[in-house]
Amino acid sequence: MRSRKQEEEAGSPAPLPSATVEEKITELKEQHPGKHVFTVSEAAEILNAQYEFVRRRVKAGTIASTPHGRRQRRISLETLAELLVYGITI
């Protein structure tokens, strides 16, 4: 995912988001109290995306994640908030 600065440097400014990342973080914390990381399945549900799509993006590195165990990955609350505001690049 490219940042707003990277978009501006590339010559095509990113559209202004309807909500800020901080607002989405607060919203996610209210919806999921005490939770800081999410499984791929939980992330797909929050993002309203198919599990396989999110899994492939995690595997490709498009969606940042951290290892949890031998084969599982977790997605941080902050990453989910950014994805909700800016979207997922394909």
Q: Which domains does the chain have, with CATH numbers?
A: 19-86 (1.10.1660)
Q: 80: closest CA among 18, 20, 2, 28? A: 28
Q: At what angle do helices 21-31 and 77-86 cross, to 10 degrees?
A: 130
Q: What is the pLDDT at residue 41?
A: 96
Q: What is the pLDDT at residue 31?
A: 95
pTM metric for this prediction = 0.76
**Full 3-state SS string of 73-86:** EEEEHHHHHHHHHH
Q: What is the Cα–Cα distance from 32 to 3, expressed in whole angstroms?
A: 26
Question: Does 52 have pLDDT greater than 70?
Answer: yes
**Residue 89 banded pLDDT, cuts 50, 70, 90:** confident
Q: What is the pLDDT at residue 9?
A: 61
Looking at per-residue pLDDT, the higher value among 85 and 13 belongs to: 85
Contact 89, 1 (CB under 8 A): yes
Strands 37-39, 72-76: pairing kind: antiparallel
3-state secondary structure of 69: coil
